[in-house]
Chain A
Amino acid sequence: MNKIFAIALKELKEYFKSPIAYIVLIVTISIFNIFFFLIIDQGQEASLRDVFKIMEFLFIFIVPLLTMKTFAEEKFSGTMEFLMTTPTTNTTIVLGKYLGSLIFFTLIIGLTTSYYFIIEFFSQPQPRVVLAGYLGLWLEGALFIAIGMLASSLTKNQIVAAISSYVVLFLLYFSISFIKYFSGPSATLIRYVGTWSHAENFAVGIITTADLVYYLSGILICILFTRLSIENRLWR
């Protein structure tokens, strides 16, 4: 358990020692703020629903930048050999890295909580709806991170890792747009696999078991596959 935190802490320190952490933080928060202002300025409703939608969309672009180096860089620089020859299980390594990225992502989301207080100043938002929206947003990001980490574990090249996670995230996010070309069970399947229908519920304040299961099982599956993909015993 301590080792998971040690690895997560190392990941976090690495984020903040490279410029990418600051660029991601500043750019992300600036874009969020601009959209938040635009939406509030139109004075539509006392919820963060539209803001959440935009944040969710932008996470598709941001998360692969955060996760691309998790394993690809270690493999490229040879430090993977160090990690895997210390008495540390592969599960610990994967969980530590996942936790590190998740904490950084949580920090980004945490910086947007001021939005709630701003809209509260103008109107009466429902705290439960906003909280549900944040939970949905966080789970969505957590799933994206798991996918990005899996992509990173499959390659030595950070660019390949980033691009393959973009492809998967785009498919998940935009699958709903293609649904009209399908019908019957395949349409149901696409609706279930895509993130749109699940995130939507959270944004309007509905937390259902089905949506929780969707996100948590997705995260778990990606973590398990990452664990498998770094296992030399199977592949080499």
Chain B
Amino acid sequence: MIIAKNVTKYFGGFKALKNVSFEIKKGEIVGFLGQNGAGKTTIMRILTSYLPATSGEVIIAGQDVSKNSLAIRRKIGYLPETPPLYSNMTVRDYLKFAAQLKNIPAKQQGVQIDKVLDECSLKSVQDKTIGIISKGYKQRVGIAQAILNDPEVLILDEPTIGLDPVQIIQVRNLIKSLEYKRTVILSTHILSEIQQIAQRVLIIKSGKIVVDETLENLLKQPGANLEDIFLRLHSAKENE
């Protein structure tokens, strides 16, 4: 479904991604794990064609991101790190605007909006202005926007950041409830989150992929837990 081959990205002289390659199959839920600044957001932005890669290629559903970006954007739902919301619109107006931009036919827009409002438990705030609702709601509006066009691929950049524990659980459950339908990529630096949601983990360190394993394999060794592995990886590399 998603193939990245030798993706490298420079920001000026800074090499943000170094020959990143991975393959994600249809229906998989993959967690990108890494410290702040490791390159998670950059990878996601390249996958969504928001940023171009300096070299290498990304193929989603058989099409090259740099060549058929419009076709691919139709199949992708994306929640950036900060939910991209217009604070003076109501939740419903915002989703309506998103539906128009995502090529949802006018007749289906209402139905589709009601569906995502339901899925994200946003019915009660649908007529409220986005600026005044809580962070948890905002995050869910961001997710609602991402799943509005029933995307085949869902890319969520730190979907639970800045939420309180109850909200985190709500958002996690929401993501879990979506998983059977589509390929999901999410990034986080909360380790337990990956354990609860993902089937496979890609650990990124300073723009390189250092681990690409299923969660099952990774935790096979007795007594292994993700936190130890993560910390070991980071300290080991730093000592080199």
Contact residue among B89, B101, B145 (Cβ-Cβ distance under 8 Å from A13) = B89
Expressed in whole angstroms, the Cα–Cα distance for A73 and B81 within the complex equals: 17
Expressed in whole angstroms, the Cα–Cα distance for A207 and B163 within the complex equals: 61
- Nearest B-chain residue to A78, judged by Cβ: B82
Contact call B145/A87, Cβ cutoff below 8 A: no
Q: A78-B80, A78-B84, A79-B84 are in contact. Are A84 and B101 (CB under 8 A)?
A: no
What mask results when residues 94 to 123 of chain B are scored 1 for a CB within 8 Å of chain A, else 0?
000110111100000000000000000000
Q: A6-B97, A78-B80, A87-B103 are in contact. Are A17 and B11 (CB under 8 A)?
A: no
Contact call A10/B97, Cβ cutoff below 8 A: yes
What mask results when residues 2 to 22 of chain B are scored 1 for a CB within 8 Å of chain A, else 0?
000000000100000000000
What mask results when residues 52 to 75 of chain B are scored 1 for a CB within 8 Å of chain A, else 0?
100000000000000000110110
Interface residues on chain A, number (Cβ under 8 Å): 25
Expressed in whole angstroms, the Cα–Cα distance for A80 and B71 within the complex equals: 19
Contacting residues, chain A, for B50 (C-beta < 8 A): 81, 84-85, 232
Contact residue among A2, A79, A86 (Cβ-Cβ distance under 8 Å from B86) = A79
- Give the shortest distance, in Å, between B184 (CB) and chain A (any CB): 16
Contact call B101/A87, Cβ cutoff below 8 A: yes
Contact call B86/A6, Cβ cutoff below 8 A: no
- Report if A77 contacts B (CB, 8 A): yes
Contact call B100/A236, Cβ cutoff below 8 A: no
Contact call A14/B88, Cβ cutoff below 8 A: yes
Contacting residues, chain B, for A80 (C-beta < 8 A): 84
Expressed in whole angstroms, the Cα–Cα distance for A78 and B83 within the complex equals: 8
- Report if A167 contacts B (CB, 8 A): no
| Chain B, interface residues (CB within 8 Å), range | 20 to 34
Expressed in whole angstroms, the Cα–Cα distance for A88 and B101 within the complex equals: 6
- Report if A89 contacts B (CB, 8 A): yes
Contact call B85/A79, Cβ cutoff below 8 A: yes
- Report if B48 contacts A (CB, 8 A): yes
Expressed in whole angstroms, the Cα–Cα distance for A7 and B74 within the complex equals: 18
- Give the shortest distance, in Å, between B116 (CB) and chain A (any CB): 15
- Report if A18 contacts B (CB, 8 A): yes
Contact call B89/A85, Cβ cutoff below 8 A: no
- Give the shortest distance, in Å, between B198 (CB) and chain A (any CB): 22
Contact call A236/B49, Cβ cutoff below 8 A: no
What mask results when residues 71 to 98 of chain A are scored 1 for a CB within 8 Å of chain B, else 0?
0000001111111111111000000000
- Report if A3 contacts B (CB, 8 A): yes
- Report if B203 contacts A (CB, 8 A): no
| Other contacts beyond A3-B100, A82-B80, A88-B101: 18, CB < 8 A | A7-B101, A13-B89, A14-B86, A17-B89, A77-B82, A77-B84, A77-B87, A78-B80, A78-B81, A78-B83, A78-B84, A83-B84, A83-B101, A85-B48, A86-B101, A87-B102, A232-B52, A236-B11
Interface residues of A (CB under 8 A from B): 2-3, 6-7, 10, 13-14, 17-18, 77-89, 232-233, 236
Interface residues of B (CB under 8 A from A): 11, 45, 48-52, 70-71, 73-74, 76, 78, 80-89, 93, 97-98, 100-103, 145
25 sample A-B contacts, Cβ–Cβ < 8 Å, listed by A number: A3-B100, A6-B101, A7-B101, A14-B88, A77-B82, A77-B87, A78-B81, A78-B83, A78-B84, A80-B84, A81-B45, A82-B78, A83-B101, A85-B49, A85-B50, A86-B98, A87-B70, A87-B101, A87-B103, A89-B70, A232-B51, A233-B52, A236-B11, A236-B51, A236-B52
Which 10 pairs across A and B sit closest by C-beta, in order of nearness? A82-B84, A6-B100, A86-B101, A87-B73, A17-B88, A79-B84, A78-B82, A87-B74, A85-B48, A81-B80
